[in-house]
A and B are shown apart, each in its own frame.
Chain A
């Protein structure tokens, strides 16, 4: 319990201090220190959960499913803050943003981490909603940080679309609460997930069915499911790059986590009706459409960060599909995919950040010859894209292979769609990647000072996960699978 409190309070206090801290050089280091303490307490929490199974209090509940996302969130928080310290100083030194904006940036970075951790650990569906809406509020000022017309437009779109989406999710939450009132006597426990889950079979299926549609559309907006994905490429491409890394690596995961938790409730409620797999079917539909559409859109991108944000939509679609498919193997694959996608995608965004500094632009057609100019960045981009496209020996291959196997077992025809989608996405990524990495470098292109440590760590971990998944992680994910799918995979 102490670990949980430390973990939640650290970013809260850190964010407040960073809002007041004036020396810029110090702020970057302080941001890193706060993230490190958060990671430390997250590891401590994971240790406690591994020993106890579940840690629960009135408002919080940590089990195998969310604790692994907590550790992942805190970990990406640390590596991104390692990257963001010199990167943002470079941005600030180049006069793009003011010292005041830097303070907003650091403070909101921690506020965002706070909302992510609260959303993951809370047991209350209302608090979950408040935290995910809080994540929008924390990041919306960061999207418009550069104050260009494009950035302001992206931020406004992000604000309005996610605001609407999340409002629909709140309506779904109210409906869930309405269904719970007929079942659970204590009104203050009516939104507690664990209480609802235990008595899910008693919840009125008609209400829960409608509630789930609202919840899926609402949180699905944040996951970036097509057709509610419009904000995602804009927000990713116009915001500062560290923000794109944490949005893609963390926010999308947390929103998907919310959808999965709610699916568990609805599945319980609908179990006795004629449509027991309605929630799963909806997830599969939205997931598959997102997966295919995003793969096609990859081909026509001109902005490097937009391109990789479409790749995020594609992967989120795949995970949504897998969670919808259900069953232990698909769930295990989806959990693993969440992990490797976060690690790989944030590594890619970090590399892209350096690449855009080298080229001085985000336009793909003007980023050329990275390997010549700065081999570290060029190779990192190449390996990152190879990993995200699902090549062995990287971890994304393992999880995608598991997902394809699971699909083949239960819904063989969908395998065809998945494989062709993967091929389309692969082609889309590589047609843009090849000239950026190998093409002739423009004259006078200079290397920049780049800290490749976060990229090396992330890609190293993804490689490790592809070669051999460590035992403790298998046990961990297996427990989470057992929670979600009802049966362990092993």
Chain B
């Protein structure tokens, strides 16, 4: 094992904390607490960017560190917070089905990431290998979260933490994407967040809840020409109250 410079060790520590927060996000039942965890993850990614900028003396990275801090650490969490308050979901909790299994799956994803990255990076580059694996793990856990969480806001958190992982990869493995690309990605993420907000209201107006597992009208299963009240909702008659 090669000895890493102090700054690289520090970056790895921050990245590991970001990965830990991914696990927190995955299992956190309270929505507001999950948003806070997401905000901290954004701050950590910004901190990683800052340290990389310091270590490599790359000035354009200071700018992206600031951008990440404002966008992922402050603006998006604030928007989500506001949406949650307006949707009256502040006290909403959602218990993960099979939490132990999901966490185990997340652990497997981390191992998988290391396995995938192993042959990719030359032996000497322990730092790069670790950081790429960690960021891939953050991306994949975000994906897992979008699959297993049934609540729209939680799914958006999963989406956004995937973006965090991508950003982590871009910054630490490659010292930042070209500026145009970075601005473009930030713009897309911001627009996506605004649209997600619009959709929360549209979804609630249409199914009176934000539990998107009840969005199940469009399937390939042949439904007989349906009476006015269809099978939808019949499976979960009391869930409406709980989700509000």
Of all chain A residues, the one with the shortest Cβ separation from B232 is: A149
Any A CB within 8 A of the CB of B162: yes
Cα A127 to Cα B222 in complex, Å, equals 41
CB of A174 within 8 A of CB of B170, answer yes
Of all chain A residues, the one with the shortest Cβ separation from B119 is: A206
* Proximity string of chain B (176-210) to chain A, C-beta cutoff 8 Å, 1 when within and 0 when not: 11101100110110011001101100110111000
CB of A234 within 8 A of CB of B203, answer no
B174: chain A residues at CB < 8 Å are: 174, 177-178, 181, 187, 190
Any B CB within 8 A of the CB of A157: yes
Determine the interface band of chain B, counting residues with CB < 8 A from chain A. 35 or more
B187: chain A residues at CB < 8 Å are: 130
Of all chain A residues, the one with the shortest Cβ separation from B215 is: A153
A237: chain B residues at CB < 8 Å are: 218
Partner of A130, one of B139, B146, B159, B181: B181
B96: chain A residues at CB < 8 Å are: none
CB of A167 within 8 A of CB of B163, answer yes
B142: chain A residues at CB < 8 Å are: 167
Any A CB within 8 A of the CB of B155: yes
Any A CB within 8 A of the CB of B220: yes
A140: chain B residues at CB < 8 Å are: 195, 199
CB of B218 within 8 A of CB of A150, answer yes
- Once A160-B159, A163-B159, A188-B178 are accepted as A-B contacts, the answer to whether A238 and B218 lie under 8 Å apart by CB is yes
A297: chain B residues at CB < 8 Å are: 220
A188: chain B residues at CB < 8 Å are: 178
Distance between B73 CB and nearest chain A CB, rounded to angstroms = 19
CB of B195 within 8 A of CB of A137, answer yes
A178: chain B residues at CB < 8 Å are: 132, 173-174
Main secondary structure of the interface of B (DSSP, over half): helix
* Proximity string of chain A (134-148) to chain B, C-beta cutoff 8 Å, 1 when within and 0 when not: 100100110010011
Any B CB within 8 A of the CB of A207: yes
Any B CB within 8 A of the CB of A156: yes
Any B CB within 8 A of the CB of A210: yes
- Give residues 234-266 of A contacting B (CB, 8 Å): 234, 237-238
CB of B181 within 8 A of CB of A126, answer yes
CB of B217 within 8 A of CB of A149, answer yes
CB of B120 within 8 A of CB of A137, answer no
Distance between A132 CB and nearest chain B CB, rounded to angstroms = 10
Any A CB within 8 A of the CB of B169: yes
CB of B162 within 8 A of CB of A133, answer no
Distance between A161 CB and nearest chain B CB, rounded to angstroms = 9
- Once A170-B185, A178-B132 are accepted as A-B contacts, the answer to whether A150 and B217 lie under 8 Å apart by CB is yes
Distance between B137 CB and nearest chain A CB, rounded to angstroms = 12
Count of chain A residues with Cβ under 8 Å from any Cβ of B? Answer: 50
- Once A141-B198, A154-B218 are accepted as A-B contacts, the answer to whether A167 and B159 lie under 8 Å apart by CB is yes
Any A CB within 8 A of the CB of B116: yes
Any A CB within 8 A of the CB of B152: yes
Cα A164 to Cα B144 in complex, Å, equals 10
Cα A177 to Cα B159 in complex, Å, equals 22
* Proximity string of chain A (37-72) to chain B, C-beta cutoff 8 Å, 1 when within and 0 when not: 000000000000000000000010000000000000
**Max count, chain B CB within 10 A of own CB: residue among A170, A181, A191:** A170
Of all chain A residues, the one with the shortest Cβ separation from B212 is: A156
Partner of A126, one of B175, B180, B191: B180
B185: chain A residues at CB < 8 Å are: 126, 129-130, 170
- Give residues 122-174 of B contacting A (CB, 8 Å): 132, 136, 139, 142-143, 146, 152, 155, 159, 162-163, 165-166, 169-170, 173-174
- Once A126-B180, A153-B217, A191-B178 are accepted as A-B contacts, the answer to whether A137 and B192 lie under 8 Å apart by CB is yes
Cα A440 to Cα B159 in complex, Å, equals 50
CB of A147 within 8 A of CB of B206, answer yes
Partner of B191, one of A137, A167, A177, A181: A137
**Max count, chain A CB within 10 A of own CB: residue among B155, B181, B222:** B181
CB of A147 within 8 A of CB of B205, answer yes
CB of B215 within 8 A of CB of A177, answer no
Cα A188 to Cα B216 in complex, Å, equals 45
Cα A302 to Cα B224 in complex, Å, equals 11
- Give residues 245-298 of A contacting B (CB, 8 Å): 297
Cα A152 to Cα B116 in complex, Å, equals 37
**Max count, chain B CB within 10 A of own CB: residue among A140, A157, A177, A181:** A177
Partner of B207, one of A147, A149, A181, A191: A149
CB of B155 within 8 A of CB of A174, answer no
Cα A178 to Cα B135 in complex, Å, equals 13
- Give residues 298-356 of A contacting B (CB, 8 Å): 300, 302
Any B CB within 8 A of the CB of A159: yes
Cα A127 to Cα B184 in complex, Å, equals 7
Distance between A374 CB and nearest chain B CB, rounded to angstroms = 25
Distance between B194 CB and nearest chain A CB, rounded to angstroms = 9
B143: chain A residues at CB < 8 Å are: 164, 167
CB of A174 within 8 A of CB of B212, answer no
* Proximity string of chain A (161-185) to chain B, C-beta cutoff 8 Å, 1 when within and 0 when not: 0011001101100110110010000
Which chain A residues have a beta carbon within 8 Å of chain B's beta carbons? 59, 124, 126-127, 129-130, 133-134, 137, 140-141, 144, 147-150, 152-157, 159-160, 163-164, 167-168, 170-171, 174-175, 177-178, 181, 187-188, 190-191, 204, 206-207, 210, 233-234, 237-238, 297, 300, 302
Beyond contacts A148-B206, A149-B215, A155-B202: 4 other A-B pairs, Cβ-Cβ < 8 A, are: A126-B177, A126-B180, A178-B132, A297-B220
Give the 9 A-B residue pairs with the shortest CB-CB distance, closest first.
A126-B181, A130-B184, A153-B215, A149-B206, A152-B206, A133-B188, A167-B162, A234-B218, A152-B202
Jot down 30 A-B pairs with beta carbons below 8 A, ordered by A. A59-B180, A124-B180, A126-B177, A126-B184, A127-B181, A129-B184, A129-B185, A130-B187, A140-B195, A149-B207, A152-B205, A153-B216, A154-B218, A155-B199, A156-B199, A156-B203, A159-B192, A164-B146, A167-B142, A167-B163, A174-B173, A175-B120, A177-B170, A177-B174, A178-B173, A181-B174, A181-B175, A187-B175, A187-B178, A206-B119
Which chain B residues have a beta carbon within 8 Å of chain A's beta carbons? 116, 119-120, 132, 136, 139, 142-143, 146, 152, 155, 159, 162-163, 165-166, 169-170, 173-178, 180-181, 184-185, 187-188, 191-192, 195-196, 198-199, 202-203, 205-207, 212, 215-218, 220, 222
